[in-house]
């Protein structure tokens, strides 16, 4: 059932339901979104460890760890550049968040760690991610180096099948993690939030609201 449903989802469902045409009409979205100043100050600790050091390579070939070189906060996501499923929702959201935050004077770097280093190489990641936004930094590396990052974030994924158009299709997790400039996990963000709500959350961690 899992494979069948996933195949249906990634082959046709996500493309149809989450394409750019459909994204444009959000008139049915619930109202009453939260502004930064309205967010509760208290946060409940997560029930498991998240985050940790890793050493990978970015899409320009430069070495990159969990720390952002300029000390900016980061939005971290695990996926692959040609993913037609959740990545096609999460990566545009991360790009929109980065732009929205930048307008508020908060610089945040969207980062995607690949789950398929054979597909996402230094040569291929940049152009593929630039289709979402030139702001997104792609990280790849050896399988061993990537496994360190997967373990740190409890990332699980499964190769489902090869699609003639999109190539390898994976089932994989979907949360976006907000990291400090030093690479500490500050919180997690569901990739389904309206951009303005996600911006409000990050803004509070940046000291606004």
Partner 1 sequence: MRYLIAAMALALPTSGFAAGERISVTGEIIDTWCYYSGVMGGPDAVVGTAHHTCALWCSAGGIPVGLLGDDGQVYMVLKIEGDDGSASGDTQLSLASHQVTADGMLYERDGLKYIVVEQVVSEGITNLSHLDYDVVPPFAVPKPKN
The response to whether 87 counts as a known ligand-binding position is yes
Question: And the tokens for 45?
Answer: 């600790």
**Interface of this chain with partner 1, residues 40 to 69, rule: CB under 8 A:** 40, 42-51
Contact criterion met (CB below 8 Å) for 83 and 168: no
How many angstroms from the chain centroid is the CA of residue 149?
A: 14
CA–CA distance from 88 to each of 9, 40, 79, 97, 192 (Å)? Answer: 13, 30, 10, 14, 11
Residue of 78, 29, 114, 38 lying closest to 191 (CA atoms): 78
- One character per residue 188-207, x = contact with partner 1 (rule: CB under 8 A): xxxxxxx------x--xxxx
- 26 touches partner 1 (CB under 8 A): yes
Rounded to the nearest whole angstrom, what is the least distance from the CB of residue 123 to partner 1 in the complex? 26
Nearer CB in complex with partner 1: 56/169: 169
- One character per residue 146-185, x = contact with partner 1 (rule: CB under 8 A): --------x-x--------------xxxxx----x---xx
Q: Give the integer Cα–Cα distance in Å for 11 and 19.
A: 12
Rounded to the nearest whole angstrom, what is the least distance from the CB of residue 64 to partner 1 in the complex? 20
Rounded to the nearest whole angstrom, what is the least distance from the CB of residue 169 to partner 1 in the complex? 10
Nearer CB in complex with partner 1: 131/156: 156
CB under 8 Å to 55, separation ≥6 — which residues? Answer: 63, 64, 65, 141, 145, 148
Residue of 83, 82, 59, 70 lying closest to 141 (CA atoms): 59
Nearer CB in complex with partner 1: 148/174: 174
| Site residue total, partner 1 (CB under 8 A) | 64
The angle subtended at Cα 157 by Cα 192 and Cα 190, nearest 5°, is: 15
3-state secondary structure of 27: coil
Could you tell me which stretch among 36-44, 54-62, 124-132, 143-151 binds partner 1 (CB under 8 A)? Answer: 36-44
Q: Which residues bind partner 1 (CB under 8 A)?
A: 1-2, 5-10, 12-14, 17-18, 22-23, 25-30, 34, 38-40, 42-51, 73, 85-87, 89, 154, 156, 171-175, 180, 184-194, 201, 204-207
Q: Which residues are annotated as a binding site for Cu cation?
A: 83, 87, 172
Q: Which residues are annotated as a binding site?
A: 83, 87, 172
């Amino acid at each position: 059932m899992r494979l069948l449903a996933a195949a249906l989802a990634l082959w046709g469902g996500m493309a149809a339901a989450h394409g750019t045409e459909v994204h444009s009409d959000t008139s049915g979205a619930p109202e009453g979104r939260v502004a930064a100043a309205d967010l509760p100050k208290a946060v409940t600790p997560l029930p498991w460890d998240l985050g940790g050091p890793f050493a990978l390579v970015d899409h320009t070939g430069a070495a990159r760890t969990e720390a952002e070189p300029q000390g900016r906060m980061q939005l971290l996501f695990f996926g692959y550049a040609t993913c037609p499923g959740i990545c096609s929702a999460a990566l545009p959201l991360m790009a929109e968040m980065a732009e929205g935050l930048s307008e508020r004077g908060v610089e945040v770097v969207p980062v995607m760690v690949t789950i398929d280093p054979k597909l996402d190489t230094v040569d291929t990641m940049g152009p593929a991610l630039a289709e979402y936004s030139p702001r997104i930094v792609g990280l790849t590396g050896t399988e061993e180096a990537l496994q360190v990052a997967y373990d740190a974030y409890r990332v699980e994924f499964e190769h489902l099948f090869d699609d003639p158009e999109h190539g390898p299709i994976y089932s994989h997790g979907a949360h976006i993690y907000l990291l400090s400039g030093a690479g500490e996990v500050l919180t997690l963000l569901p990739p389904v939030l309206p951009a303005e709500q996600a911006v409000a959350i990050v803004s509070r961690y940046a000291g606004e609201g």
